[in-house]
Amino acid sequence: MATVVHLVHDYHFTDELPPVLEEPRIPYKALSKRTRSRFANLMLDTAFKVVFGLPACEQTLIELLEALLPGKKIQSIQYLDKEIPGFFMEERKTVFDLFCKGDNEEKFIIEMQLNAQKHFQDRVLFYSTFPLREQLITPLEEQRLRNSGKRRKIKDYHLIPVYVISIINFKLEHGQDSSLRDGILSSYSLRNDLGRELMTDALHFLFLELPRLAYNKDEAFRCKTLLEKIAFVFRHSSFLEERPVEFSEDLFKRIFQAAEVANMTSKQFQQYQKDMTTAIDLIAQRDYAHEEGFNEGIIEGMKEGKKEGREEGMSLERDRIIRRLRDRGMTPEEIQEIVGTITCHLPFVIID
């Protein structure tokens, strides 16, 4: 993920919408060069929660959810405690990025995932069990049962729907891309293997896969659907100095207003800087791992005199370069041009 170093002027609230935050803004001169982009990177934890996770941002979150869940109408949202205690004393707490409840009692878990993780979908499935179990038995009731030895009878197993929404900065594997809405959103529910018959409406998973949007930061005009615009904002907000004119919907007016770095409180800004440092460290660690793999591949190939060892080392180096360019928001065509210049003897392959 790229870190933006744009230098911009001191911006002020527009009169289009009322201010989201009431605390004093940060003076522009207090911003470090690394954070002098007008808008925060929404893929970082603090910025994501400032824009979508505050009570004043309720309408912004509602419109985001309705865009991701076509046909669903949400009148109001209640933010819930993001820390979910385990059902047994030895279980650790689970902390969501955002956890909320709609006016029909349905639950929404919204997660922003910056880096790929092994068995990520299994983790998401595990997270979904907490609000499901909570509907039938609470942690306090479980503790009471342990102490008294009594068992509580469950009269009704009816479950209110739970939606787990993951906004991710990596691609998932799919049998075919045609299964993705607008080519960027995959969704799952519990249905018949041979047809579309729904077994239960209790559980839904959505994955907004940001890297599948191929438009770079200067191609906002190519976004035609609301979903594409949302993905574009998440990918490129920190590269922009103005809200694109094509993004005229109230949803984006609210997002860009709340995402202005200068509108953060001092506490939010300090945490945002920590988020940026953490992201840079993660990128550095990942790059180091790739470099080590490259060096080991070359050394092993030289030691054993195996051609495949040398090819593996060069392949790892090529993958590292491609990933770094892609993380900086470049299109496949731009990467092709650069990779062809750097390692013209290697075939070009986009690494997922």
- Total-model pTM: 0.68
Residues 87 and 166 in one domain: yes
pLDDT at 1: 42
**Domain residues for 183?**
28-264
- Domain identity same for 40 and 178: yes
List the 107-113 sheet strands across, edge first: 77-79, 98-102, 107-113, 162-168, 198-209, 185-191
Residues 207 and 323 both lie in one domain? no
d(CA 138, CA 259): 36
Domain assignment present for 59: yes
Mean pLDDT of 292-319: 59
Report if residue 235 sits inside a domain: yes
Task: Point out the least confidently predicted range of 8-12, 181-185, 262-266, 274-278.
Answer: 8-12
What are the pLDDT digits (tens) for 2-57? Answer: 433 333 333 333 333 433 343 444 444 444 444 468 999 998 888 899 999 988 89
Which band of pLDDT confidence, cut at 50, 70 and 90, is reported for residue 312?
A: low
Q: Residues 119-128: what's their mean pLDDT? A: 90
Lowest mean pLDDT among 22-31, 70-79, 224-233: 22-31
Q: Are residues 245 and 290 in the same domain?
A: no
Report the number of distinct structural domains present in the chain: 2
207 domain-assigned: yes
Is residue 348 domain-resident?
Answer: no
pLDDT at residue 137 in the model: 73
4: in domain: no
Domain boundary among 229, 264, 299: 264
Average pLDDT on 73-89 reads 74
- Span 148-201, pLDDT tens digits: 666 666 667 889 999 999 999 999 988 765 689 999 999 999 999 887 899 999
Q: Do 327 and 206 lie in a common domain?
A: no
Q: Is residue 89 part of a domain?
A: yes
Instruction: Tell me, yes or no, whether 169 lies in a domain.
Output: yes
